Copies of this chain bind each other. A is one copy, B any other.
Amino acid sequence: MNRICNLFNIKYPIIQGGMVWCSGWKLASAVSNNGGLGLIGAGSMHPETLQEHIDKCKNATDKPFGVNIPLLYPEIDKIVDIVIDSGVKIVFTSAGNPKTWTNKFHEHGITVVHVVSSSKFAIKSEEAGVDAIVAEGFEAGGHNGREETTTMCLIPQIIKCISIPIIAAGGIASGESMLAAMALGADGVQMGTRFALTEESSADFCFKDRCLRLNEGDTELILKQITPVRVVKNQFYEQVKEAENRGASIDELREILGKGRSKKGIFEGDIFEGELEIGQIASSIHELDCVEDVMKEIIKSFNSELERVCKMGRL
């Protein structure tokens, strides 16, 4: 039995990343209804909005689903209470110290997974008692590790350090890359970009449309002096790069970033001035499909690639 399927009681070891502005109840319930694990992304929700999405998600699926909580969230206490009081049974935490909340979640019978981008934080997460980790590589969209370790390098190194299950993320959007991640030793995969660009994603159509037209090299990890984030190269990006290249101060960079840039880009669809967070692998996705079709395609290509690889035979 696959350790990730076992941990969450799901059919396929495929997690939908709990992204800002993309991952509401529609997306999460669709992924869960199709045998994966859907996550509501609390990072872009007011507490009352999260409550609404949890309630709607419960009505939309009888399968397991979870909530992704960035631990640096300003109203973190409220968010934690809502999650516990609503009877959510799976929480993915990121951007913060997993020690702070893991015990409390466990006391309420909640499975906790922490997102990391290095072996060092994988070890700290295991020590904090989390049940599994997401190991996310440099190619992933949105906020990202400072060390720039790619999925191909990260997974085999983390596996040597910890014994809890590992979910690989970053650059995975197909059955082929899912199989590759599992060949590296991951127990399952988390896909963000793939599900951000589906019909059920709550991102604005203009954001999805822009991302579906990307070519290789059209995203870049920027703002490394503040918090590294992978975005589409647009006017906002150009403004940041121009400032970075002339050695602008952190204060000036913060001012250029301003507030609400990702909402502007992803949720309001301003593809010029918004922060369009998406992964490198977006350039391989060109059609806006529904979650059911995406899941079927992933499983089909995983199975056919597995068959091909097994036929290769030993060296």
Contact = CB atoms under 8 A, between A and B. Distances in A.
Interface string A170-182: 1110101101111
A1 to B, nearest CB: 11
A190 to B, nearest CB: 13
Contacts of A149: 139, 216-217, 280
Given A139-B150, A284-B157, A183 B309 contact: yes
A245 interface: yes
Interface in A113-127: 118-120
A289 interface: no
Interface residues of A, number: 57
A259 interface: no
B138 A150 contact: yes
A280 B150 contact: yes
Given A139-B150, A153-B281, A176 B171 contact: no
Contacts of A220: 148
Contacts of A2: 312
Contact of A314 (B248, B280, B303): B303
Nearest to A247: B247
A62 to B, nearest CB: 21
A238 interface: no
Interface in A95-142: 118-120, 137-139
B176 A150 contact: no
* Interface-central residue, A137, A171, A220, A281, by most chain B CB under 10 Å: A171
A177 B157 contact: no
Interface in A291-315: 299, 302-303, 305-307, 309-310, 312, 314-315
A184 interface: yes
A183 B174 contact: no
A146 interface: yes
A160 B302 CA distance: 16
A252 to B, nearest CB: 12
A183 B311 CA distance: 12
B315 A302 contact: yes
A234 interface: no
26 contacts: A120-B216, A138-B150, A139-B150, A139-B152, A148-B217, A148-B220, A148-B280, A149-B217, A150-B171, A151-B152, A152-B172, A152-B181, A153-B284, A156-B174, A156-B176, A157-B216, A157-B284, A176-B184, A180-B180, A180-B184, A245-B247, A247-B247, A306-B309, A306-B312, A306-B314, A309-B310
Given A153-B284, A157-B284, 6 more contacts: A148-B280, A149-B217, A157-B216, A180-B180, A183-B309, A302-B315
